[in-house]
Structure 1
Amino acid sequence: MSGTLVAKGLSGGHGHRVLFEELDLTVAPGDVVGVVGANGAGKSTLLQLLAGRLTPVAGIVSIAPSDAFVGWLPQEHERVPGETIAAYVARRTGAAAATAAMEETAALLGSDTPGADDAYAVALDHWLACGAADLEDRLPATLAELGLDVGPDALMTALSGGQAARVALAALLLSWFDVVLLDEPTNDLDLDGLARLEAFVRGLRAGVVLVSHDREFLARCVTRVVELDLAQHQVAVYDGGYDAYLEERAVARRHAREAYEEFADKKADLVARARTQREWSSQGVRNAMRKSPDNDKIRRRAQSESSEKQAQKVRQMESRIARLEEVEEPRKEWVLQFEIAAAPRGSTVVATLDGAVVRHTGDPPAEPFVLGPVSLQVSAGDRVGITGPNGAGKTTLLRLLLGHREPDEGRASLGASVAVGEIDQARSGLDEALPLGDAFEALVPAMTSAEVRTLLAKFGLKADQVGSLVGRLSPGERTRAALALLQARGVNLLVLDEPTNHLDLPAIEQLEQALDSYDGTLLLVSHDRRLLENVRLDQRWHVEAGRVTVG
């Protein structure tokens, strides 16, 4: 069964704050709608409204047929202690809830409960429709197809980040939804996982609404774009794909700016002319009183009539100003004004690996892993893009180069006078047990509290976040704090491990610009295909199965 989701006059927000208003949207089978906007614009709120998890401020959401299965897969940054892969997939696909509902209604069969038979029939139909009947049989094959060498009984908390991302993808591939709502499904996926996700989304008969900051994924998949414009407090729907949206948005913004400037110029001209007319009118009255003798009635009358004509022109000009159709000035969005502070140039050879080998024995379900032998040299000014599947050893390679991990065999060395700026995948550069402001000040003692707060505010981190424990910040907030730290401290070796994870599109574009103007040494690990295309790189390293290929 396929379903059609319809939103009419939909407005959403939290408390007294309305994030967006008057959205009209129809999601028919085969549609893939991408939702874009700055962090905080209401993207996740919109998905929850469409899923029926939140009550709208205004408007309605309806689904046809009424029993269609709307599947909402939110972002999940924390794993549930004790939950197995099988239980996680059952929960994410809706099979667990459907099974519980069927068992609950089955227990009432034969009782005196009114409508028990009908309730059981509905629950059974839903249980069958969501694929719960054979989910347990389908799961192992899907896990194997995704390259996961762990079984359904493995605990989610024991998986690596890459493995957990693939289990999340498995849940999506195994789902039987009539309308699919996806919140950041590309997070932590490698290139193979992204390709599988793209093929799945493009091949769905169901309608899809998704939130993503992966521009290439959006360009390859979406057929329509909903933009939640936080600065203008507007919502707009663009037909066509993501690249067509970018072009249409640029034209619309240019026209809005031109329309405002034309209005402002015309209003300024009329105001200036009205001011001149008033001055002439006042001057005419003063001249008439000074020059006209009392007995010269004809001259006095003529000058009085001239002054009245000037006053009439003033009134006409003011009337024209009042009749001008007001054009609001387009408000500028908050932009991450980001620069990477440069440190004095260090040694010519930044880092060296000579036959370096790292062995991970791993705890079950992880398999033993070997990286190397690797022999590489990073010279001052090198700009290196590092790619490879999850679990291939990219992060281990970075730890070797930076001296965070000693090799089990071979040699690793870091050059003299190397000032390292690093954003790791865990965003662990700040003490999680301290409030953000205190943790930041501890790393940049030369800055005053006021200077720290001013800098963090430029990265969209206000008083609430500055006073919050680092460990309680969202992944996006932690990423922006890490970027602020790069701006506060000079670096000549910049190491970024998946820096675009949890950043919104405007911030990603600003990061690209900052990297373009940075002249130091760069090591960039990313699965963001457009970032790798747009950032100037002179080397590519590909890490796979513990081997490094230089290209």
Structure 2
Amino acid sequence: MAVAAVENIGKAYEGRTIFADISLELQVGERIGLIGPNGAGKTTLLKIFAGVEEPDHGKRTVSRQATLSYVSQQPLLDPNETLHHQVSLVFEELKAVETQMHEAADMMARHTSGLEHDAAIRRYDSLQHHFEHLGGWEIERRVQVVLQELGFSQRDLTLPISALSGGQKSRAQLARMLLSGADLLLLDEPTNHLDLHMLQWLEETLQAMADITMVIVSHDRYFLDRVVNNIVEMRGGEIERYPGNYSDYLTLSAERQLTRRRQFAQQQAFIAKQEEYIRRFGAGQRAMQARGRKTRLERLKTEALVARPRGQDKAMILNLKVARPSGQEALRLEGVSKRFDEKMLFADISFHLPRGTRLGIIGPNGVGKSTLLNILAGELTADTGEIRWGHAVTVQFYRQEHQDLNPENSVAEELQSARPTMSPQDMRDLAALFLFSGDTIDKKIAVLSGGEKSRVAMAKLLLNPSNTILMDEPTNHLDMLTCQVVEAALDSFDGTLILVSHDRYFLDSVCDQLLVLEPAKEAGQGPQWRLFNGSYSDYLVAAANEAQRALKQRRDVENQDKRRKEQPPSRQNQQTTKSPRSTAATSMKLPAHLSRLSLSAVEELIQKLEQQKRRAEQALADPKVVMVAEQLRQAKADYTRVQSDLAEALEAWEFKAQ
């Protein structure tokens, strides 16, 4: 069943056609990743689905029963309202029902008997049932859980939207969408401004929304691999759908392109053969056959011609061999610490890096990743400790702000300055990979946007690398193809690389070691750090195994404590000392299913019910369950049922143990 669709739509801006005739249907439960080069029209298509923009022609339809929620890259929030109020606006219907419940309760208080009292009771009962069905009692808890998982503190809830940073506003908009309960979610770059923990939580939350339809524009390839079940590629004003996630798309796209090139080559050979026959026999005994072939060939060219397949994406290989290698040890840190005001970011970091190490620095927002990188670059000073670079180390620092570009140069001149021997054609090919083509390569650095300056700086760095490179969020502002170019270039780099990135696909491709920074876990503790040997995927597996072991140890301790507390008294003690409850139990009537069980069978049942109770408690504490009203209602029902069953079983044990 289609939730929404666009049919034969077109859109142009200032005379430039973005797309002319595309159609796309969204089915229930589809999670579509919308990809393509910058400027292909991904955001425009999302806005048309959302009803924010109208197509120039064609039509948009949305199922009458469907509700939609749209997350844009520019959050639309009331700057004068608090964060909590703006996020809670998605529950306006529930708030209205709650207000009506209060009004019905007031009516019951004013009229203690009679028809009006009876009517108020009926209305209150009806409203309460509706309120509970919609999960009304859990509104506040759901809001708190989502905001906490997206990095907001309790203090942030009362701040006006105007006091939030751009990243916080984006996360507030995302929280509102996740709480909306909409049938169709339209998300434009939802992973911007999220740290690794938030990204993982968002992925798991979206995965749990099985029947919700989603269209997601994202450059986060790792996110697309974990969340979507279809890829729609926009390119050259057309769209093409691929089943599966991003990795499946890469395989299928390559296969389709190969098939198209073969079909096109066969077609061109056939056309050439027919044209040669027509040329040779256009006059003479075979002229009639030649005219027939000419008619069929003209029909082929107008009706059934296989389109020329697009050229292979340019993949200019940059060889990053350093001119002068460093010594065997590139870097050594001993006891490095940094504090800002009262907050200790990191403490006593000590490690050494051999030449050629590719180190990724990861951790949640606010733990000091970029601060540490700036300390290594000499732009900040550590409070304590020592940093020693190795012999002949030369350092290049790729920042998110680029003060080392010449504002008077054009893009072409700036790139040429990094490698004067580069030919004009190679320079243009490189510029195109970093999304500069046509007249844009003649633009002055001074008039470029922040993202454009980042791309120029990245291209320059790859043209003339030092033997040690520091990089702060290098894939920001790069499309997927350009990220692949950078990854391939760094793969050939034989120096030392230290980077901070939230791009997990990039981390996995480039880094072979991770420095994990973590905040203090408990009051009185300091921040933690550790060095992990392996890729980001290896780290995830190790972290999951470690969490499982910690959970098992915690459960074992809890089980031991509970067994000690709930240990049934011995038969001898039971005979000499009976509690009032057990005395009362001798006269109770057991449920039929318990009366047939032996004492040992009841004890086994109690153990099973205690396990079920622990699972129910864990479900109630799981943010993914709390997020979905239906799952939360089921978890509460399970907990209530198992509590009741456990109470009955304990009473049965007391009765049978006498």
* 1:265-302 deviation per Cα after TM superposition (whole angstroms, max 9, x unaligned): 23334455666x47xx9xxxxxxxxxxxxxxxxxxxxx
Alignment partner of 1:547 is 2:532: no
Local SS of the residue matching 2:241: strand
The residue number in structure 2 matching 1:360 is 340
Task: Give the Cα separation in 2 of the matches to 1:404 and 1:435.
Answer: 26
Unaligned runs of 5+ in 2: 96-130, 520-526, 533-658
Identity %: 31
Alignment partner of 1:387 is 2:362: yes
The residue number in structure 2 matching 1:248 is 252
Task: Give the Cα separation in 1 of the matches to 2:222 and 2:170.
Answer: 19
Task: Give the Cα separation in 1 of the matches to 2:442 and 2:344.
Answer: 40
Q: Residue type matched to 1:186 in 2?
A: T
Q: Residue type matched to 1:368 in 2?
A: K
- Within the candidate set 206, 210, 216, 2:212 is matched to 206
Local SS of the residue matching 1:502: coil
* 1:106-129 deviation per Cα after TM superposition (whole angstroms, max 9, x unaligned): xxxxxxxxxxxxxxxxxxxxxx9x
- Within the candidate set 264, 271, 276, 1:267 is matched to 271
Shift of 1:28: 4.0
Task: Give the Cα separation in 2 of the matches to 1:309 and 1:270.
Answer: 17
Greater shift, 41-50 or 156-165, is seen at 156-165
| Structure number with higher helix proportion | 2
Q: Residue type matched to 1:86 in 2?
A: T
Once the two structures are superposed, the pairs formed by residues 269-288 of structure 1 within 5 Å of their partners are 269-271=273-275, 277=280
Shift of 1:480: 2.2
The residue number in structure 2 matching 1:257 is 261
Distance 1:268 1:27, change over 3 A: closer
Task: Give the Cα separation in 1 of the matches to 2:292 and 2:265.
Answer: 23
Task: Give the Cα separation in 2 of the matches to 1:441 and 1:249.
Answer: 32
Local SS of the residue matching 1:60: strand
Shift of 1:49: 0.7
The residue number in structure 1 matching 2:396 is 421
The residue number in structure 1 matching 2:646 is none
Alignment partner of 1:498 is 2:473: yes
Once the two structures are superposed, the pairs formed by residues 325-340 of structure 1 within 5 Å of their partners are 326-332=305-311, 335=314, 337=316, 339=318
Task: Give the Cα separation in 1 of the matches to 2:187 and 2:174.
Answer: 11
Task: Give the Cα separation in 2 of the matches to 1:131 and 1:339.
Answer: 56
Shift of 1:160: 6.9
* 1:451-502 deviation per Cα after TM superposition (whole angstroms, max 9, x unaligned): 9974534522243475266575263x34422221213333222223332233
Local SS of the residue matching 1:344: coil
Once the two structures are superposed, the pairs formed by residues 291-310 of structure 1 within 5 Å of their partners are 308-309=284-285
Task: Give the Cα separation in 2 of the matches to 1:434 and 1:238.
Answer: 45
Greater shift, 214-223 or 254-263, is seen at 214-223
Once the two structures are superposed, the pairs formed by residues 180-259 of structure 1 within 5 Å of their partners are 180-204=185-209, 205-230=211-236, 233-259=237-263
Greater shift, 312-321 or 493-502, is seen at 312-321
Shift of 1:415: 4.0
The residue number in structure 2 matching 1:86 is 82
Shift of 1:312: 7.3
Contact 2:431-2:441 within 8 A present in 1 as well:
no
CA RMSD across the alignment: 4.2
Unaligned runs of 5+ in 1: 100-127, 282-306, 362-366
Contact 2:73-2:170 within 8 A present in 1 as well:
no
Task: Give the Cα separation in 2 of the matches to 1:471 and 1:52.
Answer: 33
The residue number in structure 1 matching 2:59 is 60
Greater shift, 208-217 or 537-546, is seen at 537-546
Distance 1:481 1:212, change over 3 A: same
Task: Give the Cα separation in 1 of the matches to 2:311 and 2:88.
Answer: 39
The residue number in structure 2 matching 1:144 is 148
Q: Residue type matched to 2:72 in 1?
A: P
Task: Give the Cα separation in 2 of the matches to 1:157 and 1:415.
Answer: 47
Task: Give the Cα separation in 2 of the matches to 1:95 and 1:433.
Answer: 50
Highest relative contact order (Cα 8 Å, sep 6+), 1 or 2? 1
- Within the candidate set 449, 453, 457, 1:473 is matched to 449
Shift of 1:447: 8.4
Local SS of the residue matching 1:151: helix
Greater shift, 335-344 or 17-26, is seen at 335-344
Contact 1:27-1:207 within 8 A present in 2 as well:
yes
Task: Give the Cα separation in 2 of the matches to 1:473 and 1:73.
Answer: 23
Once the two structures are superposed, the pairs formed by residues 29-40 of structure 1 within 5 Å of their partners are 29-40=28-39
